[in-house]
Amino acid sequence: MDFQKVIAVATRRGIFQSAFDAYGGLAGFIDYGPVGVKMRRRILETWRKLYVIDAGCLELDGALIGPEALFQASGHLGEFDDALVNCEDCKKQFRADHLVDGGEEMSRDELAKAISGMACPGCGATLSEMTSFNLMFSTGVGAGKGLPGYLRPETAQSIFLAFPWLLRQNRGKLPFAAAQIGRSFRNEISPRQGPLRMREFTQMEVEHFFLPNEEPLLSDDLRDVTINLLDANGKETSSTVGEGFDEGIIGSSLVACHLARAQKFLTTIGVPDKKLRFRQHGSNEMAHYSSDCWDGEINTSLGWVEVVGVAHRGDYDLSAHGNASSKEFRVAVPGTEKETEVWVPDIGKLGKEFKGDAKFILEAIRDVDLQPGFSVDVNGSKIELTSEYMSQKTERRSEMVYANVVEPSFGLDRILYCLLESSWKSDGEREWISLPQETSPYDLLVAPLMTKDGLDDKAHEIMKSAIDIGVDAYYDEAGSIGRRYARADEIGIFFSMTVDHQTLEDGTVTLRERDSKDQNRLSIEDALNKVRR
């Protein structure tokens, strides 16, 4: 199936449509419909099972709008931009790297040289000089012009900023991993390609934190995962993750873990192994703070599409926020405790001064590294705790370091697109989406042969039983059974059940399996047990 066909089927069958067409359209925004929402949820459930439940990640759901200082510290205000050229004649705007062959690999200087004097592909006039365009959506928070704020360009920053809080939830211990599913935003200059390049998209990201000298090892169950690797030297291998790591192709044991997990996740939801590869970044492509970085890519009609990045980010993000903010982003190194002077609250004085509020102050400073000047929110106003409310004493304290992090980062919209394309089957007679039951939008079509003689009532009754045991069932009574099968196939419903006159007599139904078209006559109970995941 090619791109246009995916878009047409998706629009027709309620998977997704481009948003705002009624108002002339706005490129880079999509609405997901009833079938698309179900497919997305099933992909997310599989991801959550693997990362949050099995791997025990702490899940976060952070705010989408953030203040300027955050994105100043993260580097996004300074560096998260595209090279832009305008045509002053026809007013069109272009990404400079899309106008030059191999532009995406060029430095900004090389690009500027290549663009210089170039004619507008739209109208032929000479293009203006190249400028930089920051890809964050900006807004103002509060009345008037408001404080400058930005829509987050990645969910990751919410996790980094919440690190001290999450660390406390993990009782101060490393390693731990935090996961987040949520919207992110990039103000692309001229997005094409529907769900492959969006201005608003859904990410699933994990930040796996560890002490610099205690990187988690590659576990035995992940060692054995087979994977296609394309290393930075252009060498392709298909081997186990363990072999890739032992041979030094994969540079970090935790990166190796997450390549294996990503492979497991993507094949579980239905990406064919032979269409999936992990491509290592070369040193020119990799961020300066990263020591090893891989893109998980799926082969589509439009070429290889990146759906996940796995990167070793060192301590870049945590130290950036530690240096720029008022919070402690470091962690205590176990075994390095020694006697240290620390500040402790003077409970008597706090009680005298703040009366009933004192207990909220004590609650708020319970886990913090208290210092004179620490401020606390009480009933909406800030109270600064000067040194008169505390005293010094000697305690055993540890050496503090910044944790390192490995990040797998998935793009849900692209994954769904690639799945639709790769799972489309056609045998000349019919066309169907062939996904595993886990990611099919519905487990079961319930179809009465006709809407009389009580067949529809019986079908509704079966629907209810199916729903009660957790089967995601879809009811369809319109048109011939053949047409209903065809519609069910087109959105990949895994099983179809036909209710006919015999059902009323002996309680049996016909159960059809989507991929094989095999039909079996079964009791309602046996059929539902087969369908149940």
The binding track of 42-71 with respect to a copy of itself, each residue x by CB under 8 A or -, is: -----------xx---xxxxxxxxxx-xx-
Q: Which is nearer to a copy of itself, 102 or 380 (CB)?
A: 380
Q: What are phi and psi of 24, to 5 degrees?
A: 85, 0
Q: Which is nearer to a copy of itself, 139 or 386 (CB)?
A: 139
Q: How far apart are CA 455 and CA 460, in angstroms?
A: 9
The full DSSP string for 100-167 is: STTGGGS-HHHHHHHHTTPBPTTT-SBP---EEEE-S-EEEESSTT-EEEEE-S-THHHHHHTHHHHH
Cβ 174 to a copy of itself shortest distance, Å: 15
Using rule CB under 8 A, residue 126 touches a copy of itself: no
Q: How far apart are CA 139 and CA 150, in angstroms?
A: 6
Using rule CB under 8 A, residue 14 touches a copy of itself: yes
Q: Is 507 left (phi over 0), alpha (psi -120 to 50) or beta?
A: left
Cβ 413 to a copy of itself shortest distance, Å: 11
The token duo for 296 is 């998980």
**Residue 512 in contact with residue 522, Cβ under 8 Å?**
no
For residue 305, the SS3 value is: strand
Using rule CB under 8 A, residue 320 touches a copy of itself: no
CA 518 to chain centre: 37
The binding track of 461-500 with respect to a copy of itself, each residue x by CB under 8 A or -, is: ------x----x-----x----------------------
Using rule CB under 8 A, residue 90 touches a copy of itself: no
Using rule CB under 8 A, residue 347 touches a copy of itself: no
- Footprint of a copy of itself on residues 355-384 (CB under 8 A)? 360, 363-364, 366-367, 377-380
Q: How far apart are CA 517 and CA 485, in angstroms?
A: 10
Using rule CB under 8 A, residue 321 touches a copy of itself: yes
Cβ 495 to a copy of itself shortest distance, Å: 18
Using rule CB under 8 A, residue 108 touches a copy of itself: no
- Give the sign of the dihedral formed by CA 261, CA 315, CA 155, CA 54: positive
Q: 84, 100, 286, 486: which one contacts a copy of itself (CB under 8 A)?
A: 84
**Residue 207 in contact with residue 407, Cβ under 8 Å?**
yes
404-411 sheet: strands from edge to edge: 176-185, 200-210, 404-411, 303-314, 292-300, 276-280, 226-230, 236-240
Using rule CB under 8 A, residue 353 touches a copy of itself: no
Tell me the window of 17-25, 232-240, 249-257, 397-405 that interacts with a copy of itself (CB under 8 A): 17-25
Using rule CB under 8 A, residue 21 touches a copy of itself: yes
Q: 19, 400, 486, 522: which one contacts a copy of itself (CB under 8 A)?
A: 19
Using rule CB under 8 A, residue 149 touches a copy of itself: yes
Q: 275, 327, 397, 460: which one contacts a copy of itself (CB under 8 A)?
A: 327
Q: 90, 105, 116, 169: which one contacts a copy of itself (CB under 8 A)?
A: 169
State the number of binding residues for a copy of itself (CB under 8 A): 95
Query: Among 203, 240, 231, 223, which residue's Cα sits nearest to residue 295?
Result: 231
Q: Which is nearer to a copy of itself, 358 or 511 (CB)?
A: 358
Q: Which is nearer to a copy of itself, 12 or 430 (CB)?
A: 12
- Footprint of a copy of itself on residues 186-245 (CB under 8 A)? 187, 189-190, 192-193, 199-200
Query: Among 268, 299, 273, which residue's Cα sits nearest to residue 43?
Result: 268
For residue 62, the SS3 value is: coil
Using rule CB under 8 A, residue 393 touches a copy of itself: no
Using rule CB under 8 A, residue 451 touches a copy of itself: no
Cβ 243 to a copy of itself shortest distance, Å: 28
Using rule CB under 8 A, residue 314 touches a copy of itself: no
CB neighbours of 385 closer than 8 A, spacing ≥ 6? 345, 361, 365, 370, 372, 373, 374, 375, 376
Cβ 40 to a copy of itself shortest distance, Å: 7
Q: Which is nearer to a copy of itself, 151 or 293 (CB)?
A: 151
